[in-house]
């Protein structure tokens, strides 16, 4: 019988919902994992809503003070699904109390905070993981295999975009994601963190960047009721300043000599969750689009000249494609929620085997270093070296 990992989830809204579902589903569809979750306690500041979340998702109890969760004797793993400005304090306290930590991205407000989190985790010998769920899309994991098998040859280019449009309306209020004191940055940290992690995962470390950012709507109504990516204004006439970027663009040079271009925005009208990348190499290319997450486009120069062209691979074959054998017969597609289930299954399995989950805080710090270099480059209008961390 597998070990049990007693989970304390801090945060009940958008990511709290996704993570709760993952703890429910992971042991059902991944019965071989080395440790099974016990949904011990969920925490949030709004007692009525966190009580409702506990009942809805099946948590044993709820708390409104995260400090009670990180010090609880019946909790082994702290899942941090809260605004970015709380990550460091909660993670460090959890490490000091010998709890494993699973933290949403971006890792922290600053590189300095991220390093403190990593160092505390190392000092106290806990397991730690940063939640970059798009590594767990089967098509992305299969792209990783193709690259490692040399199907693309020498990598020359990666171009990636993450495009959304959910704050185009100037009357959308200033929620926490639009407040630098809580979010750190805007599209850069929220969306850019994902595509920059995919760049690290698939191509390698980034050496230097240049960049530009923009805030298109500088004042918005004060937020009233908010949840997930939706919100209502408190009073339309009562304004607050937007203190984060609405969009960024960046050029990058990888350590291995490849070139990269990256863009993220919340002002791409008609784009809802368009996370797309293309990687070009000496032998072939791949293209992925999250809005068609069961598909991977692949081009090989080794095909005969008359039939060369991009082929669309439906990534649902249990014999060849990662993760999908746990779900449905070939051709029966999966969705966004499954990426969170996959990463929770991998997290629990690693802890149960006394192994470090991946990506760990070490990789989270590397990601934060690139984010900070891009933010600096946007201010200096110069190329900036990514610091070694």
CATH number at residue 62: 3.40.50.720
Residues 137-179 pLDDT 10s: 999 999 999 999 999 999 999 999 999 999 999 999 999 999 9
Q: Are residues 153 and 247 in the same domain?
A: yes
pLDDT (tens digit per residue) in 254-292: 999 999 999 999 999 999 999 999 999 999 999 999 999
Domain housing 63: 3-134
**Is residue 363 included in any domain, yes or no?**
no
95 within domain boundaries: yes
Residues 156, 118 within the same domain: no
Q: Is residue 361 in some structural domain?
A: no
What averages of pLDDT result for each successive group of 10 residues across the chain (389 residues)? 88 97 98 98 98 98 98 98 98 98 98 98 98 98 98 98 97 96 97 98 98 98 68 70 98 98 98 98 98 98 93 98 97 98 98 98 98 98 97
127 plus 148 within the same structural domain = no
Q: Which residues pair with 40 in a beta bridge?
A: none
Residue 45 placed within a domain: yes
Domain count, the chain: 2
Question: pTM to 2 decimals?
Answer: 0.95
Average pLDDT value for the chain: 96
Encoded tokens for 176? 């926490």
**121 within some domain:** yes
The answer to the question of residue 362 being in a domain is no
326 in any annotated domain: yes
């Amino acid at each position: 019988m597998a070990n049990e990992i007693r989970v304390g989830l801090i945060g009940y809204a958008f990511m709290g919902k996704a993570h709760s579902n993952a703890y429910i589903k992971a042991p059902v569809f991944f019965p071989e994992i080395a440790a099974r979750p016990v949904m011990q306690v969920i925490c949030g500041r709004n007692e009525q809503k966190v009580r409702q979340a506990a009942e809805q998702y099946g948590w044993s109890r709820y708390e409104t003070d995260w400090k009670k969760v990180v010090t609880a004797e019946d909790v082994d793993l702290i899942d941090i699904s809260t605004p970015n400005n709380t990550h460091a304090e909660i993670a460090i306290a959890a490490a000091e109390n010998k709890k494993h930590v699973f933290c949403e991205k971006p890792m922290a407000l600053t590189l300095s905070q991220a390093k403190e989190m990593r160092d505390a985790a190392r000092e106290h010998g806990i397991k730690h993981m940063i939640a970059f769920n798009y590594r767990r899309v089967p098509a992305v994991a299969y792209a990783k295999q193709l690259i490692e098998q040399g199907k693309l040859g020498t990598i020359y280019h990666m171009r990636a975009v993450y495009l959304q449009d959910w704050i185009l309306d100037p009357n959308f209020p200033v929620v926490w994601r639009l407040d630098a004191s809580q979010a750190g940055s805007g599209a850069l940290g929220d969306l850019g963190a994902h595509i920059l992690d995919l760049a690290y995962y698939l191509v390698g470390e980034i050496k230097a960047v240049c960049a530009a950012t923009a805030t298109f709507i500088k004042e918005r109504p004060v937020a009233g009721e908010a949840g997930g990516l939706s919100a209502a204004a408190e009073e339309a006439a009562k304004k607050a300043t937007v203190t984060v970027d609405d969009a960024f663009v960046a050029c990058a040079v990888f350590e291995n000599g490849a070139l990269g271009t990256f863009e993220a925005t919340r002002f791409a009208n008609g784009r809802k969750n368009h996370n797309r990348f293309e990687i070009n190499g000496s032998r072939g290319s791949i293209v992925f689009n999250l809005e068609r997450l069961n598909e991977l486009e692949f081009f090989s120069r080794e095909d005969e000249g008359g039939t060369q062209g991009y082929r669309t691979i439906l990534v649902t074959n249990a014999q060849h494609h990662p993760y999908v054998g746990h779900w449905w017969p070939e051709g029966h597609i999966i969705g966004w929620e499954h990426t969170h289930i996959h990463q929770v299954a991998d997290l629990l399995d690693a802890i149960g085997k006394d192994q470090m989950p991946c990506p760990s805080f070490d990789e989270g710090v590397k990601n934060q270093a690139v984010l900070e270099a891009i933010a600096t480059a946007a201010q200096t209008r110069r190329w900036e070296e990514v610091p070694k961390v």
